[in-house]
């Protein structure tokens, strides 16, 4: 577990499950009591109580589902997210025919994505085009990368220092607090995006 604050979210989900079991039992018990006492299986007051219990459950389920599964990190309060940046030089892979910094594997299907493979500090990394982009040429940013807040002066510095061959990664992490704990996110990674910079297209191998 990334943070003890997530125990709050686990407790809320458990309470919601217990409430669901209790609600089903209560609806059944009231109906049986109604049949025994009035010989009827339906009355409007009993139906109203059941509806009220169901509305409470659905509202709580919607709230917990939103907090756990459907929050938009891009629109989230900065007090809930911490952002960090890392910058590392790419390692070129020397080959007989042509050396490259990045290998691109094109996907297939109705919504194909690309997979990028590169090496940094002797380690192999693989990312997809949903969470990364490759930039080459004069500019070290493209439209997709500009969505994130980069220090452009530092990117220019990296171009000079590493000869236009580096990778910059921005990572957003949920802060460890009770509010993020409700959605079971405290301490967990919210988003990660890599900006892969190469001198020109000739250093990218497309398979």
Instruction: Using the predicted structure, report yes or no on whether residue 1 has a pLDDT greater than 90.
Output: no
Instruction: Using the predicted structure, report yes or no on whether residue 64 has a pLDDT greater than 90.
Output: yes
Look at residue 100 in the predicted model and tell me its pLDDT: 93
Instruction: Using the predicted structure, report yes or no on whether residue 155 has a pLDDT greater than 90.
Output: yes
Domain range list for the chain: 6-70, 74-206
18-22: average pLDDT:
98
Question: What pTM, to 2 d.p., does this model score?
Answer: 0.83
Average pLDDT of every residue of the chain: 93
91-112: average pLDDT:
86
Q: For the chain, list the strands marked E by DSSP.
A: 81-89, 102-106, 114-120, 123-128, 132-136, 166-174, 189-198, 204-206
- How much of the chain exceeds pLDDT 70, in percent? 100
Look at residue 107 in the predicted model and tell me its pLDDT: 84
Query: What span, in angstroms and rounded, lies between the C-alpha atoms of 159 and 150?
Result: 14
What does residue 169 show for φ and ψ, rounded to 5 degrees? -125, 130
């Amino acid at each position: 577990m990334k943070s003890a604050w997530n125990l709050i979210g686990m407790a809320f989900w458990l309470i919601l499950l217990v409430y669901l079991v209790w609600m089903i039992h209560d609806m059944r018990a009231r109906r049986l009591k109604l049949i025994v006492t009035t010989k009827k299986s339906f009355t409007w007051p009993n139906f109203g109580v059941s509806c009220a219990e169901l509305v409470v459950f659905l509202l709580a389920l919607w709230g917990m589902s939103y907090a756990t599964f459907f929050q938009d990190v891009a629109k989230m309060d900065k007090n809930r997210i911490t952002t960090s940046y890392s910058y590392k030089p790419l390692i070129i892979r020397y080959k007989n025919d042509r050396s490259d910094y990045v290998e691109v594997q094109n996907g297939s299907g109705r919504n194909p994505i690309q997979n990028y493979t590169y090496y940094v500090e002797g380690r192999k990394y693989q990312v997809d085009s949903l969470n990364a982009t490759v930039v080459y040429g004069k500019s070290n940013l493209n439209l997709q990368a500009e969505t994130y807040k980069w220090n452009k002066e530092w990117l220019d510095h990296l171009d000079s220092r590493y000869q236009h061959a580096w990778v910059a990664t921005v990572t957003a992490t949920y802060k460890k607090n009770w509010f993020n704990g409700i959605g079971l996110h405290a301490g967990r990674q919210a988003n990660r995006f890599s900006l892969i910079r190469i001198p020109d297209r000739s250093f990218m191998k497309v398979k």
